[in-house]
Chain A
Amino acid sequence: DSGVTQTPKHLITATGQRVTLRCSPRSGDLSVYWYQQSLDQGLQFLIQYYNGEERAKGNILERFSAQQFPDLHSELNLSSLELGDSALYFCASTPGQGTEAFFGQGTRLTVV
């Protein structure tokens, strides 16, 4: 158990809908990262938050947004969903710069 919790584990929704993925980092970790993993297994960096503030953006679509709350949990919002958004979405947290990242179990999103 990495200590990072993601909910829900599975999500099936229709095209055009909006969903929210939730991540609770390890206790004390201020940084949260979101990654998307497609079927061809590559990991795409989406966005990073540190102590409530956005730090970096990667290949995140305009239809996607995220935030980190004062209690440090983070949410990733995906809207106007398309079939191609079907993927595994991972959250990771770290205790500090340059240290190892701890990953949640992921949310498997299926858009039908």
Chain B
Amino acid sequence: GDSVTQMEGPVTLSEEAFLTINCTYTATGYPSLFWYVQYPGEGLQLLLKATKADDKGSNKGFEATYRKETTSFHLEKGSVQVSDSAVYFCALPGTYKYIFGTGTRLKVLA
């Protein structure tokens, strides 16, 4: 069945460091792919999405490219800020439910 695997956290970085959170997927066909972010005490917010192979989603300085060859959708940001501290989820829409990775907690230190 469809699945999403993302890197274990927590990830701790200094402000202005480069961020990569790995995500790979298994799916039938080529579904849209999503990154969600959950700030402390809040619900999940859509961070970015890509709807087909080679698409690049971007938002708030974050980027992720839909790679069909490597079945990956890694999240990157060139310079993280303290305000980026949150939990990040990679996800895809399965047949009857959304399939999420286990989440990666990011902590950015000033």
Contacts and interface: CB of A to CB of B under 8 A. Distances in A.
- To the question of whether A and B form a pair in one complex, the answer is yes
Interface of A: 2, 4, 6, 33, 41-43, 45, 48, 55-56, 58, 90, 92, 94, 97-106
A103 B44 contact: yes
Interface of B: 31-32, 34, 36, 42-46, 49, 87, 89, 91, 93, 95-98, 100, 102-103, 105
Contacts of A41: 87, 102-103, 105
A87 to B, nearest CB: 13
B93 A2 contact: no
Contacts of A33: 97-98
Contact of B43 (A42, A58, A94, A105): A105
Contacts of B45: 2, 103
Given A90-B43, A102-B46, A103-B43, 8 more contacts: A4-B43, A42-B100, A92-B44, A97-B93, A98-B31, A99-B93, A100-B46, A101-B91
Given A33-B98, A45-B98, A55-B96, A98 B32 contact: yes
A58 B100 contact: no
11 contacts: A41-B102, A42-B103, A90-B44, A92-B44, A94-B93, A97-B93, A101-B34, A101-B91, A101-B98, A103-B43, A104-B43
